Amino acid sequence: MEIQERTDAIVSLTPAAAAKISALMAEETDVSVLRVAIEGGGCSGFQYGLGFDRGALEGDVEFECEGVRVVVDPFSAPYLRGATVDYLETIQESGFKIDNPNAVSSCGCGHSFQVADDADPGTATGGCGSGCSH
């Protein structure tokens, strides 16, 4: 499978995010890529998924960004195009944050979002666990 150049990357990583991801990957065994995905659920209809994987699966888009191999499944790719993954460590918040230009609204927690062509966001159940609401 050919790895795309960064100019074709669906998702970009900030240097801070890439450094944290590389450090976390070094602690794991038998992983070689960062998988970025969206999943149904959360307060606003979709939620982000970040995790490590052994490699790309058939149909995945694979590219390299800031020295990290990234894979995105074909369902998630259109919803994540142009998104940036950052890592923050401040007095107010710590962790990965995704800035997604495709999100038309986001939950207060920043982990859940809605997109314009989401057919029925009202079908999402549950919350993000931080007390936020639509």
Task: Quick: pLDDT tens for 90-109.
Answer: 898 889 988 888 877 565 54
22-28: average pLDDT:
95
72 phi and psi, to 5 degrees? -135, 130
Cβ contact 86:15 at 8 Å: no
Q: For residue 124, what pLDDT is reported?
A: 34
Q: In whole angstroms, what is the distance from residue 57 CA to residue 131 CA? A: 36
Q: For residue 1, what pLDDT is reported?
A: 46
Cβ contact 35:41 at 8 Å: no
- For residue range 1-23, what is the model confidence (pLDDT) as tens digits? 444 444 468 999 999 999 999 99
More confident residue, 50 or 117: 50
Q: In whole angstroms, what is the distance from residue 119 CA to residue 104 CA? A: 13
Is pLDDT of 123 > 80? no
109-132: average pLDDT:
42
Q: Which two tokens stand for residue 92?
A: 């107010």
- For residue range 31-66, what is the model confidence (pLDDT) as tens digits? 999 999 998 776 667 888 999 999 999 999 999 999
Cβ contact 9:63 at 8 Å: yes
Cβ contact 79:115 at 8 Å: yes
Helix (H, G, I), strand (E, B) or coil at 40: strand
Is pLDDT of 88 > 60? yes
Q: For residue 118, what pLDDT is reported?
A: 42
Q: For residue 87, what pLDDT is reported?
A: 95
* E strand or H helix that includes residue 39: strand 33-40
Q: For residue 121, what pLDDT is reported?
A: 35
Q: Which two tokens stand for residue 42?
A: 């959360």
Cβ contact 95:4 at 8 Å: no
* Domains detected in the chain: 6-120 (2.60.300.12)
Q: For residue 8, what pLDDT is reported?
A: 64
